[in-house]
Amino acid sequence: MSALAGAALEEARAAAQAQYLALRERKDSLDKDSIDLILRGARSHYAWKDKPVSNELLESIYEITAAGATSMNCCPARFVFITSNEAKKRLAKSLKEKNVEKVMSAPVTAIIAYDVDFWERLPFLFPHEDRRPFFKGKTAHIESTAFRNSTLQGAYFMIAARAVGLDVGALSGFSNEIVDEEFFADKNWKSNFLCNLGYADETALFHKLPRFSFDEVCSYL
């Protein structure tokens, strides 16, 4: 992909602005139930109904996730969907004991990872200016950018899954080193966190834990 210029750039900008304004006119905010579904009333789940998740639904979740903003549109997140028993057994090697059943019983477990070589794709993702010199040879900057933005994309992913009717349960109780050795030995990828997906068995829920109030963690300057 090459950068747009001249009249083509102006046409693309005008079209983007018109599309955004039209969306805002059709729907300027989410209703209460929609907000509750994706965040305020949503829960982390660890028990699942015996109901499969289709590949088409996973592809839809990714399409929504990919639309989310990242710095310089760098899009470092990579998603591996663990669905087979064989793959789950491989993943189980990395898990803390209490998380094994959570993963084995989930219809899908996503490994949310990041590509350390993400910056090499910037000519495609950010075509109007070559930003590769911002990263070349800067290992710490590459790592922090990839980790931060893949975490952001992981959050988009969880919200997208809830928005299309699935439930999620994120996991951090595992060995990143074992996951990386098991699944990414031939890639320059690193695991960030895991996320179970499916249709929750709500009978396993307990009361929602406390959150900080606005005044405890927010301020005005």
DSSP 134: G
Q: Is residue 14 part of a domain?
A: no
Q: How far apart are CA 109 and CA 107, in angstroms?
A: 7
| Start-to-end Cα distance in the chain | 43
What CATH number corresponds to the domain at position 159?
3.40.109.10
Residue 160 lies in a domain: yes
Query: Residue 1: which pLDDT band, with cuts at 50, 70 and 90?
Result: low
Band of pLDDT at residue 2, cut at 50, 70 and 90:
confident
Report yes or no on 10 lying in a domain: no
Looking at residues 182-211, what average pLDDT do you find?
A: 96
- Enumerate the H helices of 6-49 as residue ranges: 6-26, 32-35
Q: Is residue 22 part of a domain?
A: no
Which pLDDT band holds residue 44 (cuts at 50, 70, 90)? Answer: very high
3-state DSSP assignment of residue 142: helix
Q: Across residues 8-32, what is the average pLDDT? A: 95
pLDDT in tens, 46-86: 999 999 999 999 999 999 999 999 999 999 999 999 999 99
User: In this structure, is residue 118 part of a structural domain?
Assistant: yes
Report the pLDDT value the prediction gives residue 141, as an integer from 0 to 100.
98
Q: Does 28 map to a domain?
A: no
Q: Does residue 211 lie within any of the structural domains?
A: no
Q: Is 67 within a domain?
A: yes
Please provide residue 117's backbone torsions phi and psi, each rounded to the nearest 5 degrees: -95, 20
Q: Would you say residue 162 has pLDDT above 70?
A: yes
Structural domain count, the chain: 1
Determine what percent of the chain is predicted with pLDDT higher than 70: 100
Position 4 pLDDT exceeds 90: no
Tell me the C-alpha distance between 51 and 35, whole Å.
Answer: 25
pLDDT of res. 153: 98
Domain that holds residue 92: 44-203
Predicted TM-score (pTM) of this structure: 0.95
